[in-house]
Structure 1
Amino acid sequence: MSEATETTVVRSAVQVDGETASYLTAGRQEGRPVLLLHGTYWSRVWLPVLGPLANAGLRPFAVDLPGLGRSGGELTLETATVPALAGWVTRFASELKLSGPIAVAGHDIGGAIAQHLLAHDRLNISRFALVNSVLYDSWPAPHVGRFRDGNTTEDVLANRRQAVTRVLADVATEPLIADYVDPWTDARVRRSWTALAGAADNRYTLDLIPALRRSTTPKLLIWGEDDLHETVEYAERFASEIPNTALIRIPDADHIPTENAPGQIGRALADFFAA
């Protein structure tokens, strides 16, 4: 992936906890900030929608969590928990002086981090979105859960390549697959990802439900209907139980629907966040 694209997406970085925190951003400096959080993948999952968000007058920030993607550092079982990562995201937002109100979106385990931030009022969140996020007890998925012992990294690259190929489905070209799996060619990133898998625990989402039921923040769920693990039934349940939640279903899309329907999802997020 190039460091800048024709949609004015650029990669930048700040220092958080003494390590480089890398992020993709687009749009004008004065745009309303949108914080985009990834999970078991990296900031690449948000790239297809950064242009539409910027064109709507927003300023998206798709950050790589520590030790993952292009960020420095290395996760451990202790620093890879949802509460610990929520604290790190709060410090990242502080370094960027994103004092609020902030729109937040999460994908995969990044959605658990986003839910934690909302439930614990860690940021001044004005609007909240989830895209094929972990919910309730939907996680960890079996292909992630088998790394929970936190000791082996030998199979991580092959695991990630297989997972990416499957979830990209009809858009899975060899260059796109290679682009997605590139960070895991680094042993440090593989170790961090193994720590993230080892720290995966659905109690972190289940424990948030009472607070989320009290939340009046506007919420949007966008869901690829073909997801085998974060199934649309979980999204339907969340939309029925958590107030001020709308659900947009994306047919013929899997776990990374931003690649399958970037225009539709970009417009939906832009309209929601800019409202």
Structure 2
Amino acid sequence: MRRFSIEVDGVPTSYLTAGNTDHPLLLLLHGTYWSRVWEPVLESLAQSGLRPVAVDLPGFGRSDGELTPEQATIPALAAWTERFVEVLGNGNRPVLLAGHDIGGGIAQHMFVNAKLDVPRLALMNSVMYDSWPAPTVLRFRDPAVAAATSPADILAARRQSVTLALGRPAEESELQDWLDPWKDPRVTRSWLSMAISADSRYTLALVPALKASPKSKLLIWGEDDSFQKVEFAERFVQEIPNSRLIRIYKAGHIPTATASEAIAAEMQKFFGA
């Protein structure tokens, strides 16, 4: 597993990857966290003959730049992700997609709207329908709350969120690893822009196209998630054709933190088929 940087729109963009560049591209998208979400499964996915790429969105993780609220909507981030794929040099080859949290909303948008060939979609504890924004994010859409929120406030909120999302006890060193990007005020401002732009109308608008799509969809869900309830995943597989739900027991919003081997195996089977 290695980290690289390329320029997208003139801004250095960081991504984690493993495997052979000739293998099918599996693009892994994060939401209100960063590429660290996908780190536990990258090498296993690469060993199965895929080229996993976990990108940090602008202003998140190890990427430069800073998102404004206008740049942080799902359609805007989907368009940016298409430009990332173009710079990455995948040519006209298909792009396999997986998204977590709001990254799952971006992935759904690309699945039905992108000019790219996206034959398969995996969603892990993803936003969908009107399941979002969570109350902890929704409050930042109040201009008064957003204006009164400091980078230190966001860092403290992110600490609480990560602690809950991991779904298991974590050592302080692990928490610090997760929280490290948010020590940069630029990253906290980008996160705030994403929170301000969080709007379920973007995912609700995708439902008709998802229902009409014959392509395969896989849902992987940490059952103890208090941010994105498993009931929404159950509704998705009931209403959206060719979709399947894998439940990860005793796991929270970031199930890769507790069941990386099981998740990697399911993704290998799904994307390798």
Note the 1:134-145 alignment, pairs <5 A: 134-145=127-138
* Cα distance per residue 1:127-150 (max 9 Å; x no partner): 110000001111111111122234
The unaligned stretches of length 5 or more in structure 1 are 1-8
Alpha-carbon distance in 2 for matches of 1:140, 1:123? 27
Alpha-carbon distance in 1 for matches of 2:115, 2:139? 31
Alpha-carbon distance in 1 for matches of 2:115, 2:140? 30
- The letter of the residue matching 2:150 is T
Q: Cα offset for 1:31?
A: 1.2
Structural RMSD (CA): 1.0
Q: Cα offset for 1:168?
A: 1.2
> Match of 2:200?
202
Which stretch shifts more, 170-179 or 81-90?
170-179
Matched position secondary structure for 1:79: helix
Matched position secondary structure for 1:146: helix
- The letter of the residue matching 2:220 is I
Indicate conservation of the 8 Å contact 2:228/2:253, yes or no. Answer: yes
- The letter of the residue matching 1:111 is G
Alpha-carbon distance in 2 for matches of 1:90, 1:162? 32
Q: 1:169 aligns with which of 153, 164, 167?
A: 167
* Cα distance per residue 1:102-160 (max 9 Å; x no partner): 11000000000000001213321021100000011111111111222343333100000
> Match of 2:75?
83
- The letter of the residue matching 2:56 is D
> Match of 1:185?
183
> Match of 1:52?
44
Note the 1:209-228 alignment, pairs <5 A: 209-228=207-226
The unaligned stretches of length 5 or more in structure 2 are none
* Cα distance per residue 1:45-102 (max 9 Å; x no partner): 0000101100101000000000111111100010000000000000000001223211
Q: Cα offset for 1:171?
A: 4.3
Q: 1:122 aligns with which of 107, 110, 115?
A: 115
Q: Cα offset for 1:242?
A: 0.7
| Pairing 1:147–2:147 present | no
- The letter of the residue matching 2:12 is T
> Match of 1:35?
27
Q: Which has the higher helix share?
A: 2
- The letter of the residue matching 1:130 is L
Percent identity over the alignment is: 57
Which stretch shifts more, 118-127 or 215-224?
118-127
Indicate conservation of the 8 Å contact 2:167/2:253, yes or no. Answer: no
Indicate conservation of the 8 Å contact 1:153/1:194, yes or no. Answer: no
Alpha-carbon distance in 2 for matches of 1:66, 1:145? 21
- The letter of the residue matching 2:202 is Y
Indicate conservation of the 8 Å contact 1:83/1:113, yes or no. Answer: yes
Alpha-carbon distance in 2 for matches of 1:21, 1:178? 22
TM-score in terms of structure 1 length: 0.95
> Match of 2:271?
273
Matched position secondary structure for 2:125: strand
* Cα distance per residue 1:162-187 (max 9 Å; x no partner): 11011213242211111111100000
> Match of 1:10?
2
Q: 2:238 aligns with which of 226, 236, 240?
A: 240
* Cα distance per residue 1:180-202 (max 9 Å; x no partner): 11100000000000000000000
Which stretch shifts more, 154-163 or 120-129?
120-129
